[in-house]
Amino acid sequence: MSVVLKKNFTFKQPLCEEIFRRKYMLHGEESAEEVFRSVAKEIASVEAEPLRAEIEESFYREIHSGRLIPAGRILANARPDSPMKNYNNCFTIDVEDSLEGIYDSLKEDAVISKMGGGVGFDISKLRPKGDFLSRGGESSGVVSFLRIFDQSAKTIMTGGQRRSAHIALLDIAHPDVEEFIEVKQGDANKELTQFNISVKITDEFMKAVEHDEEFKLHFGDRVYKTVRARELYDKLARHAFIHNEPGIFNADTVERFNNGYWAFAMDRVNPCGELVMPSYSLCCLAAMKLSEFVTNPFSSDSSFDYEAFARSVKVGIRFLDNVLDVTAYPLDKIEKFSKQWRRIGLGFTALGTTLTMLGIIYGSDKSIEFASKMSATLRDASYRTSAELAAEKGAFPAFDASPILAANFVRDLPEDIRALIGKQGLRNIQMNTVAPTGTTSLSVGQNCSSGIEPAFALQYERNIRVGRADEVTTETVYDAAWLAWKEEKGHDQAAPPWMVTAADIDPYRSIDLQAAIQQNIDHSISKTLNLPPGTTFDQYKDLFLYAYKKGLKGFTTFNPEGSMKGVLEHSGKSDNKFISRSSAPPRPLELPCEIHHVKVRGKQYIVITGNLNGSPYEIFWIDVPDDEKVRINGWTKGVVRKVKKKRYDLVIGDRNPRLVFEDFTKVYDTPNASLARFISMALRHGTPLQFIIGQLQKDTQFTDFERVVGRVLKKYIRDGEEIITGDWRCPECDTGLIFHEGCTTCPACGWSKCK
């Protein structure tokens, strides 16, 4: 369905228009074009008169085409007559180690929040808990002061619409780091709900971890505690694994690529993690929509137009440089520092969409090769344009050719660009990033994949309230690439094998792709690594270390089973008993399936298992009537496609088009289908196969259904595992079921006893 706004700007889906109208049409506009035209006019207003109209038109053309997507604050606020002149998303401040300094920072935080900006800061300067104060008494520690900032953030609405995003960083060597690591425990304690938190990791610490050495926690010259580095590393990793926080800020990696290393340290980050910068800096953001540069998508002739991309990047850099001169600043210190160094952040979005249109699997070698070339093109076009702007408008005031040409990142630029910088200077100290671009990608981006991420799902349904009471209608929302595929190839066509979603991607390959891009990005990359269901803590620790060694500046993960594991970590010796309620991994639009034909006492049955990452996610039961020959006889593999709620199609065969058996669960509906749904629920929520099979075998009325399903599920038991037939409990924590993989192991607390 297409929704056409005035003057021929077309949104592909109703949700895209709905979000755009609600978020960005805030000044009486009646069309998207009016928004784009006003934004272009405002941002071009600082240009010299002879060029102003031409540059305004170039800004409008790039935004209207979808190639350039300004950040949310620009789309919402940038108007010639706007009452809210803040066009930047986030800011950083400093927090000094004194009561006066802390409350000055609290005031600065409030001013920024009121203007609609997020805030990031480093609290490593604050003295640890129990330290003596100059006027008597003891310090209450960094976490106690962080709670004050959190309470303030809960109170102030940004621009009257929402609460401000925050992030706090603490050095790994700070004496309060263990309390900081453990302070946020999700719904268990609801601490610091307005904050993300990250720990600043150093090379010194990682070396101590690698060599199993002791590590000193200190403040200034005073050592407060000595710990085993690996134990502290395990504590940090385990808490991130269970509660998805803290994140990691690789401080020494960040500093190695600081273009302004001779003047300041880049020791903090914005709330989403894409801009690493010093205090009193800002996020001036926009993104190039990569899919707009794909020619002949979904064909053998598909390609990416690198030359057109570089031309559009040139417009994007000029656009963001202008934003610095036309925006209002929340603090004089931020305005002074920003104009002295002119930091901007042009990135990209729709990487996942683009790879799909090019027929490339996200995480494959080919995708990494493309990501490296694309990001190098972004880098080179950005630095070349900044040097040209320096010749036209002047270099940033703090520019010094000698140290900047010696900066590690600048040393890797092509020689012709380095020569241009040496001759003309640079307009901006650093200029590239990859932001999450969630709302802008969903709206003006036509629900393309956001930022560096792959598509999360090909489609999903949302309920829309219509009229009064509980009357709702259901609307299907499509991923941009999936919708484009359906429009081009036909709505009955299955997704091609290269059209993958987040759940399909190996986490190591995801890190490899991010690392390839990070080499060409002078700031950082906002990315959350979605852990595959069933990821163990030991596997997670390996990923943690792998990300550091690959040179990522930051590392954040989401464990879909995290809250469950958090509950299971509670000791069973407590008076309170907890039952884990875990969320299932989301079902992709299509699941590969295996079709099992089983005969019991001369009766034919069919069990279809839909598999996620090679493990059963759901089962379907077909009780074949005696007088009917089932059309799927002979087939052993296929795809189960969820068309809508309670509607599944079975797609089988290699022919084009493939055979499609519509609504097959209804065609072969039997009373046992309800039991199959309950078993599917147990499978997708992670109940061990051994336990399910054991429970099926315990029934004294051993029916054909239990016999057949048990036989099928046994095929997925790995070698060396045993069936659990008793209500076994872990002797250590009394919570987890015990299963066997050579050793007896508790999946809850990790207790193990080898045979």
Tell me the C-alpha distance between 159 and 632, whole Å.
59
Is 146 domain-assigned?
A: yes
Is 286 domain-assigned?
A: no
The burial of 644, by beta-carbon neighbours within 10 Å (0-12 exposed, 13-18 middle, 19 or more buried), is given as exposed
**SS3 string of 527-550?**
CEEECCCCCCHHHHHHHHHHHHHC
E strands, 10-145, are: 10-11, 68-70, 90-92, 118-122
Among 268, 286, 318, residue at a domain's last position: 268
Check which CATH number belongs to the domain holding 162 and give it: 3.20.70.20
Collapsing DSSP to helix, strand or coil, 99 comes out as: helix
What is the DSSP pairing of strand 195-201 with strand 166-171?
parallel
Spell out the alpha helix ranges (H) of 183-331: 203-210, 229-243, 251-256, 306-326
- Beta carbons within 8 Å of 104's beta carbon, 6+ residues apart: 96
What residue numbers bound the domain in which 637 lies?
590-684
Query: Could you give the dihedral angle defined by the CA atoms of residues 354, 359, 364 and 365, in that order, rounded to the nearest 10 degrees?
Result: -90
Sequential DSSP letters for 565-581: HHHHTS-TTSS------
Among 684, 706, 725, residue at a domain's last position: 684
Number of Cβ within 10 Å of residue 320's Cβ equals 27
Ramachandran region of residue 82, left (φ > 0), alpha (ψ -120 to 50) or beta? beta
Residue range 655-680, pLDDT digits in tens: 555 688 888 877 766 778 888 988 99
Sequential DSSP letters for 443-465: TTT-SPPPTTPPPS-SEEEEEEE
- Beta carbons within 8 Å of 198's beta carbon, 6+ residues apart: 167, 168, 169, 246, 247, 248, 249, 269, 273, 554, 556
Sequential DSSP letters for 364-411: SHHHHHHHHHHHHHHHHHHHHHHHHHHHHH---TT--HHHHHHSHHHH
Is the distance from CB of 717 to CB of 694 less than 8 angstroms?
Answer: no
Is the distance from CB of 255 to CB of 524 less than 8 angstroms?
Answer: no
Is the distance from CB of 709 to CB of 702 less than 8 angstroms?
Answer: no
Is the distance from CB of 138 to CB of 176 less than 8 angstroms?
Answer: no
Among 250, 268, 286, residue at a domain's last position: 268
Is 548 domain-assigned?
A: no
Is 368 domain-assigned?
A: no
The burial of 491, by beta-carbon neighbours within 10 Å (0-12 exposed, 13-18 middle, 19 or more buried), is given as exposed
Is the distance from CB of 201 to CB of 248 less than 8 angstroms?
Answer: yes
- Beta carbons within 8 Å of 573's beta carbon, 6+ residues apart: 734
The burial of 63, by beta-carbon neighbours within 10 Å (0-12 exposed, 13-18 middle, 19 or more buried), is given as buried
β-sheet bridge partners, residue 201: 250
Q: Which of the residues in the chain have pLDDT under 50?
A: 1-6, 158-160, 563-578, 580, 720-729, 733-743, 747-749, 754-755
What is the DSSP pairing of strand 68-70 with strand 90-92?
unpaired
- Beta carbons within 8 Å of 120's beta carbon, 6+ residues apart: 90, 91, 92, 93, 166, 167, 168, 169, 268, 269, 270, 271
Sequential DSSP letters for 52-65: HHHHHHHHHHHHHT
pLDDT of residue 469: 55
Is 356 domain-assigned?
A: no
667, containing H or E segment: helix 664-667
Tell me the C-alpha distance between 403 and 650, whole Å.
63
The number of CA neighbours under 13 Å toward the Cβ of 44 is 21
Is the distance from CB of 409 to CB of 431 less than 8 angstroms?
Answer: no
- Beta carbons within 8 Å of 397's beta carbon, 6+ residues apart: 339, 340, 341
- Beta carbons within 8 Å of 619's beta carbon, 6+ residues apart: 607, 608, 609, 610, 676, 679, 680, 683, 709, 712
Number of Cβ within 10 Å of residue 473's Cβ equals 10
Instruction: State in Å, rounded, how far the first CA of the chain is from the last one.
Output: 61
Tell me the C-alpha distance between 38 and 635, whole Å.
59
Tell me the C-alpha distance between 484 and 471, whole Å.
31
Tell me the C-alpha distance between 343 and 429, whole Å.
6
Is 748 domain-assigned?
A: no
Phi, psi angle pair for 86, to nearest 5° = -80, 115
Tokens of 714: 């046994």
Name the residue among 361, 349, 288, 375 with its Cα closest to residue 510.
Answer: 361
Tell me the C-alpha distance between 637 and 284, whole Å.
50
Tell me the C-alpha distance between 348 and 352, whole Å.
11
Phi, psi angle pair for 475, to nearest 5° = -125, 135
The contacts found for 705-709 with CB under 8 angstroms, 24 or more apart, are 705/621, 705/672, 705/675, 707/600, 708/598, 708/600, 708/605, 708/607, 709/607, 709/619, 709/621, 709/676, 709/679
pTM (two decimals): 0.76
- Beta carbons within 8 Å of 200's beta carbon, 6+ residues apart: 122, 124, 169, 170, 171, 172, 249, 251, 267
Is 326 domain-assigned?
A: no
Is 672 domain-assigned?
A: yes
β-sheet bridge partners, residue 157: 163
Ramachandran region of residue 244, left (φ > 0), alpha (ψ -120 to 50) or beta? left
Q: In the chain, what are the helix, strand and coil shares in percent, each to the nearest 5?
A: 40, 20, 40
Name the residue among 164, 150, 24 with its Cα closest to residue 84.
Answer: 24
Phi, psi angle pair for 728, to nearest 5° = -75, 145
Q: How many domains are there within the chain? A: 2
Tell me the C-alpha distance between 91 and 468, whole Å.
42
pLDDT of residue 631: 66
pLDDT of residue 152: 87
